[in-house]
Amino acid sequence: MLTDEYVKKVYAQVEKRDGDQPEFLQAVREVFESLQPVVEKHPEYEANGVLERLVEPERVVKFRVAWVDDSGKVQVNRGYRVQFNSAIGPYKGGLRFHPTVNEGVIKFLGFEQILKNSLTTLPMGGGKGGSDFDPKGKSDAEVMRFCQAFMTELSRHIGQFTDVPAGDINVGAREIGYLFGQYKRIRDEYSGVLTGKGLEFGGSLARTEATGYGLCYYTAEALRVLRNDSFEGKTVVISGSGNVAIFATEKAQALGAKVVTASDSNGYVYDPNGIQLDVVKDIKLGHRGRIKEYAERVPGAEYHEGCKGVWTVPCDIALPCATQNEIDGESAEALVKNGCKVVCEGANMPSTPEAIEVYQKNGLLYGPAKAANAGGVAVSGLEMSQNSYRLSWTFEETDAKLKSIMESIVANSLAAAKEYGEEGDLMAGANIAGFVKVADAMVAQGVL
């Protein structure tokens, strides 16, 4: 609940201005609820208008992306880049290509990114971008032409010291390659302007695995510190079958857990013997197929239409890795009823406010996205460092840095929660720890 007068006033302003952006309002409200004890203790934040400025992006770029499909027809999509906050570093955040993309979705992701990037302890501001382009069913040549058209406009607004985009839903190695190539052609400049690049042209080892691995490092550390427990012998439900889900499955299995599900936007598979990841990789990374194929190939596995049912599968730990608001109150109740004790988020904002209430009421260990999935952007930050030094670290070196960053996020979140009377609350702790650093930098830099 919002009780602090300053916080209430700023939230009312956001509601008035951005009432048509429900995901953005949801993200702001959750953060504001955690920040009330902080602004009460620090009147300088109100005096410097920190919250008013935090919720208003420094810049929103919205542009036409016109391209020609394989049949020679002109197609027009919308492109976005929200440069949200540069108090602690250049704007940094991924690009999402999905038909559900609109300004409100990109703003919620950009807003979350400010605090997430701050939590990594690396010098990165918050940004996000994307397009309502749907790569499903498009040929490679169409995806390339779209990426080139998208970058032709985006290149005016980004740069290695200004704004460094990366991947997100439907933007993986293929798309980053095409985007990087077009930036290089237009600017005649070979720089680390994007992260998630191929290893042959400046990418970092362990970036592909980083979000999924990082999610498991975070969960393992939270389990150790708060429950004196581990992944060993646990049953895990994971949603999605993209980049984050695949590498979360890989690491959870390596840490001794049995992962029993995988899903996509059509449905989910349940494999009581444990998901065979090589089959999922072959389907998704090999030929961009549908997850249904898994049940056709693996004896004993079941396929169910509709992705929501995945939350009715009994488990100890749930790791949502698909998309926003994929767990509502009803799904959260089903998880609890079937024995789930831990929810850590690989996707951004996968739990509705009602679902979070259910976790809290039932004493689940809840690791919020902006902390639990920060591993991706953390290794993106390490990719930027390697590009600046013009060197590359080994997989082991980078993975060790990732693990230590995820462990420090758990420690810093718990310390911040304790300082503000929310002991053991990883959500409040992440919001507070991420915010304080950005807020102090904003105050120090004056009213901008």
130 binds ligand NDP (CB under 6 A): no
264 binds ligand NDP (CB under 6 A): yes
Residues assigned a catalytic role: 128
Three-state DSSP at 248 gives helix
Question: What are the structure tokens assigned to 196, written together?
Answer: 């998630």
Stretch touching ligand NDP by CB under 6 A, among 166-174, 327-335, 422-430, 437-445:
166-174
Q: Which residues contact 124 (CB under 8 A, 6 or more apart)?
A: 88, 89, 90, 92, 117, 164, 377, 380, 381, 384
Number of residues that bind ligand NDP (CB under 6 A): 23
3-state per-residue secondary structure call for 253-312? HHCCCEECEEECCCEEEECCCCCCHHHHHHHHHHHCCCCHHHHHHCCCCEEEECCHHHHH
Residues 334-363, interacting with ligand NDP (CB under 6 A): 346-348
- Is 445 annotated in a binding site? The answer is no
Distance in angstroms (rounded) separating the CA atoms of residues 192 and 380 = 10
Question: Which residue of 48, 83, 351, 373 would you call a contact of ligand NDP, by CB under 6 A?
Answer: 373
Distance in angstroms (rounded) separating the CA atoms of residues 177 and 203 = 10
Stretch touching ligand NDP by CB under 6 A, among 80-88, 141-149, 295-303, 315-323:
315-323
Question: Which residue of 121, 265, 276, 392 would you call a contact of ligand NDP, by CB under 6 A?
Answer: 265
Distance in angstroms (rounded) separating the CA atoms of residues 166 and 148 = 15
- Is 167 annotated in a binding site? The answer is yes
- Is 263 annotated in a binding site? The answer is no
**Nearest distance from C-beta of residue 380 to ligand NDP, angstroms:** 8
Of residues 39 and 321, the one with the C-beta less far from ligand NDP: 321
- Is 211 annotated in a binding site? The answer is yes
Rg from Cα positions in the chain: 21
Burial of residue 40 (CB within 10 Å: 0-12, 13-18, 19+) is middle
**Nearest distance from C-beta of residue 167 to ligand NDP, angstroms:** 5
- Is 77 annotated in a binding site? The answer is no
Question: Which residue of 204, 211, 331, 351 would you call a contact of ligand NDP, by CB under 6 A?
Answer: 211
The end-to-end CA distance of the chain, in Å, is 30
Tokens 């890989």 locate to 250
- Is 292 annotated in a binding site? The answer is no
Is the CB of residue 402 less than 8 Å from the CB of residue 379? yes
Of residues 170 and 352, the one with the C-beta less far from ligand NDP: 170
- CA 84: distance to chain centroid? 16
Question: Which residue of 105, 151, 244, 438 would you call a contact of ligand NDP, by CB under 6 A?
Answer: 244
**Nearest distance from C-beta of residue 97 to ligand NDP, angstroms:** 9
**Nearest distance from C-beta of residue 252 to ligand NDP, angstroms:** 15
Binding site residues for substrate, as ranges? 92, 113, 116, 167, 380
Binding site residues, as ranges? 92, 113, 116, 167, 211, 243, 380
Binding site residues for NAD(+), as ranges? 211, 243
Residues that bind ligand NDP (CB under 6 A): 167-170, 211, 240-245, 264-266, 307, 321-323, 346-348, 373, 376
